[in-house]
Each structure stands twice: as structure tokens, then as C-alpha cells.
Homo-oligomer: A and B are copies of this chain.
Amino acid sequence: MVLEEPRRLREHEFPLPAISDDDFLLRVEMVTICGGDPIEFEGRNRKTRYPLILGHEVVGRIEKIGAEAATRHSVSVGARVMVEPYIACRVCDRCLAGAYHFCREGMAYGITVRSDSPPHLWGAYSEYLYGAPGARVHPIAEAVPAAAACLTSVIGNGVRWVRTRGRGKTGESVLILGAGVQALATIIASKEAGLSPIIVVARGRNPRKLELARTYGADVVIELDREDPNPRIAEALGERSLDLAIECTGAERMMAIGIAALGPFGRLVLAGTRGGQPAALDIDGIVFKEIEVIGGLGQAHDTELAARIVNGRHYAIEEMVTHTFPLRDAARAMEFFMSGGDRTIHVGLDPVG
């Protein structure tokens, strides 16, 4: 499914790419629509270059693989794997400093590489995905539902924000702002890291999200429209201070709730973006409490733990994918996803559906 230009999604056939020593071909089992996919779909990012095959939340099977790649990834033909969104060039200073999500080549599946020249298959809204030399894969156990496997990189986001960027330590209190897939992944990562209590503030429009928040480990769920959140957060904390807050929506009001709730030395991870719009923050609150406001982007080196969490099957991660469409109906699926129905959370695409 090629996005030829904004809003024009068409079926294309490409020859399967040649696979040599250091790359592979993935037969896509399922891909889910990332919350960021509509940005490219609607052409809201003027840096996007078309034509583009969308899709980077993906699970599939190795169809073909070169010898060197097989050794490096420890996988062989037939292996079930997820593929990380970011592709490392493995040459630039950032890749070699351990930050391949800041790679100077800036390659990421479904986002930055045009599909009009071979190997074409740089996105997972497709039957096959090209596995570049700098791709990173993680084995997925057979027992894991495809929908859960697709969300591995999203769980990786949660791990990054809680552990790597937020430096969350066992026993610390955490506030998660939002209840979409990114926030739900953050709840799971918080639970895994032994944070407690886990407090969630979210709009109450979608009860399924709030249910899942509780299922995944939230101790307290506060509905933004019904209650004044800061007094409720304080009540949930009792005598304790709030150590960590993670903002997953991009809403200015959520940031304000987080800064107000944090205690001295508290940390606020910002994961939600705003399409370039600034947000007004309480600078004095940051200074007088010596708060840290920490940007949290991708999942370099965090997906490894995410894959273990997904394979561990302690959380019904697949329940976040509330609807699945055949890949050929991708345009309809995208419209459905963007319309955000009452009980819709995440949407999957099935290439053989």
C-alpha cells in the first residue's frame, strides 16, 4: 500500500528485493497503525517525502536472510520477529555512541524512506518488508498474539520513558498523563520497574482505555473531566512526594498538572509532541522545586526489554488493538482510526485478511 501523496493510498506491486549477506526479507504477519501514521497520511509534516509505504509497528516471519545477518540477529528463515522502527547506519557518531534513534541518516521504517527505488519495501503496510543491514529485530514467541507483538516498539517507548529517560527506580511514585497506547505502554513499563503507586490522569471519553489502565497496573485512575486532578493525586500519594510524571498526550494542561504534582527533584518526561506549537510551562515551579523536564523520544536499546515483556505474556497487550482490517482496506482503516470511536484504541492491518 503506497501513499503516493497525502490521502492517496494505492496498491502497488514491487519485485521482491535481492537479499545478500547482510540483509533480510520479512513476510508481514500484522502491522498496527501508529498514532503518528496519520501525520504522514494527511501530509501534516512538510518534511515527508512521497511516495511512502507507511507502517513500522510490525510482526512477521523471516522469509529470506543473508548469512551475516542471520548470525548477527541469531535468527534463521521462518523465525517470528518484530522489527524496530529505527534503522541504524552504524557508521555515524551517534550510532556509535549508542543513540541510533538520532542516527544522522535518519532512516526509519514507514516514515522517512521513499518507496520509488529498490528495494522499495521500506514500510510495513505491505506483504513484505525489506530488512536493511542496520535493522534491528527481536524474536517473538509463537504463543504471543500478533497484535501484542506489533506493539513491542510501543512498549519500548514506555520502557524508554520510565527507565532510560525517567530513571524510574523501584518504589518511586509515578503519574502517567494520558491513557492512549503510549500511556498504556508506560503503565506496563512502570509496573515492570516496580514503581508504586501508579496514578493515571486521563480524559474519560473512552472507558476501555481506563479499564486497560487498571488491568495493566494503575493503582488510581483519575478522569480529567470529572475531578480536579491535583487534589486527587495528592490524596493518592498520602504523605509521599511524586517522583516521576510522564506526559503522553502533548496537552499543555497535562504538563501543568504534572509540574504542579511533582515534589522537589521530581522528573517530568515529555513524550507527547505538539506539531511545532510551543506550550507555556510554569518555569518558577520548575526552578523552585528543581524539577527536571526530560524529553523522551524513541526506543534505542529499549526494545530488547520490551520484547522480553511481550514474550513474558504477563499483560494482555493485544487488548489494546481493538479492531483489525484487511491491509487492502488500509485507507478505510486509517479513517476509522482517525475518527477515534468510543471504544477504539489501536487498529491493526492484516496483509492476508
Residues of A within 8 A of B (CB): 72, 74, 88, 90-92, 94-100, 102, 159, 162-163, 165, 168-171, 189, 192-194, 196, 239, 250, 255, 264-265, 270-284, 286-297, 301, 304-305, 308
Contacts and interface: CB of A to CB of B under 8 A. Distances in A.
Given A192-B170, A297-B287, A96 B91 contact: no
B196 A169 contact: no
A193 B196 CA distance: 11
A96 B101 CA distance: 11
Given A194-B170, A295-B291, A95 B94 contact: no
Identical chains in the assembly: 4
A293 B308 CA distance: 28
Contacts of A305: 170-171
Contacts of A192: 170-171, 194
Contacts of A287: 270-273, 295-297
Contacts of A99: 98, 264-265
A163 B169 contact: yes
A162 B193 CA distance: 13
Contacts of A291: 294-295
A286 B297 CA distance: 9
B95 A72 contact: no
A239 B279 contact: no
A102 B90 CA distance: 16
Contact of A96 (B90, B170, B290): B90
Contact of A100 (B96, B170, B272): B96
Contacts of A272: 283, 287
Contact of A288 (B97, B159, B165, B273): B273
Given A169-B193, A170-B194, A171-B305, 18 more contacts: A94-B264, A96-B96, A97-B301, A98-B99, A102-B264, A162-B170, A163-B171, A165-B290, A171-B192, A171-B304, A272-B283, A272-B287, A280-B280, A287-B296, A290-B295, A290-B296, A291-B294, A291-B295
Contact of A293 (B90, B95, B286, B301): B286
Nearest to A298: B290
Given A194-B170, A196-B308, A283-B270, A239 B275 contact: no
Nearest to A168: B170
A239 B288 CA distance: 32
A283 B290 contact: no
A279 B283 contact: yes
5 contacts: A96-B98, A170-B194, A171-B308, A272-B287, A278-B281
A329 to B, nearest CB: 32
A68 B159 CA distance: 36
